[in-house]
């Protein structure tokens, strides 16, 4: 018997409106080394942002909408991560910071993101997607927002005894991590240990200034 799947006629896809939005970085997820196709494989990282002024509502749910941005994990001046972080901070990196900057310090930080819309391609040509064009600091003296979602942190460098993906990492990012060269070469633990969960909880409760 065939198994036929089709688009739900009642489904809708509404991107976050274009323009500037006050946002909170609620997640940073190391995606490992991702296949580059015709380009070299690169280690990637995903930044997850809440946009509290845009809401997901349904039933008793009232949550901020979210948007993400992926970067190559490098502070090379030719990459996009370094200029995005420098724009966000409002200052350039020092030579000491370029030698090793801890991305965990960005977790929970406020920013203004400039969202632009782009048309899809191929089978998705009828859809409009929201992309982050730039990340900018909030004005001095402006009230800071706190993330409504539990903060999400994942680093492969913190998995010396086998890769443990926290349950808070979104499923679509878990799939990307599992397709990385690191995941294909290392054992994957089904569940984090109690100590690892305690460490995750500690990270989530930290309020580290950016």
Per residue in 72-117, pLDDT tens? 999 999 999 999 999 999 999 999 999 999 999 999 999 999 999 9
What digits encode the pLDDT tens for the residues 131-184? 999 999 999 899 999 999 899 999 999 987 888 899 999 999 999 999 999 999
The overall average pLDDT reported for the chain is 85
Burial of residue 39, with CB atoms counted within 10 A of its CB: 0-12 exposed, 13-18 middle, 19 or more buried: exposed
pLDDT at 9: 46
Distance between CA atoms of 3 and 11, rounded to whole angstroms?
A: 20
- Per DSSP, helices labelled H in 76-124 are 81-89, 95-98
Q: Cα torsion at 16, 171, 73, 149 (round to 10°)?
A: 60
pLDDT at 67: 96
Q: What would the two tokens of residue 84 be?
A: 């995005």
pLDDT above 80 (res 4): no
């Amino acid at each position: 018997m065939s198994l036929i799947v089709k688009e739900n006629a009642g489904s809708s896809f509404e991107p976050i409106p274009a323009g500037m939005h006050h946002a909170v970085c609620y997640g940073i997820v190391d995606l490992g080394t991702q296949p580059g196709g015709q380009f070299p494989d690169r280690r990637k990282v995903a930044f997850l942002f809440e946009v509290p002024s845009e809401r997901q509502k349904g039933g008793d749910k009232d949550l901020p909408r979210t948007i993400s941005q992926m970067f190559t994990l490098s502070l090379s001046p030719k990459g996009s991560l370094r200029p995005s972080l420098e724009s966000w901070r409002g200052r350039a990196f020092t030579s000491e910071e370029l030698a090793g900057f801890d991305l965990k310090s960005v977790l929970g930080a406020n920013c203004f993101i400039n969202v632009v819309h782009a048309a899809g391609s191929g089978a998705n040509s009828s859809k409009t997607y929201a992309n982050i064009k730039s990340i900018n600091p909030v004005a001095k003296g402006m009230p800071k927002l706190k993330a409504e979602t539990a903060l999400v942190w994942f680093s492969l460098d913190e998995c010396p005894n086998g890769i443990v993906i926290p349950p808070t990492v979104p499923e679509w990012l878990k799939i990307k991590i599992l397709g990385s060269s690191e995941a294909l070469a290392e054992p994957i633990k089904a569940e984090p240990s109690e100590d690892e969960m305690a460490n995750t909880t500690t990270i989530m409760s930290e309020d580290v200034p950016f």
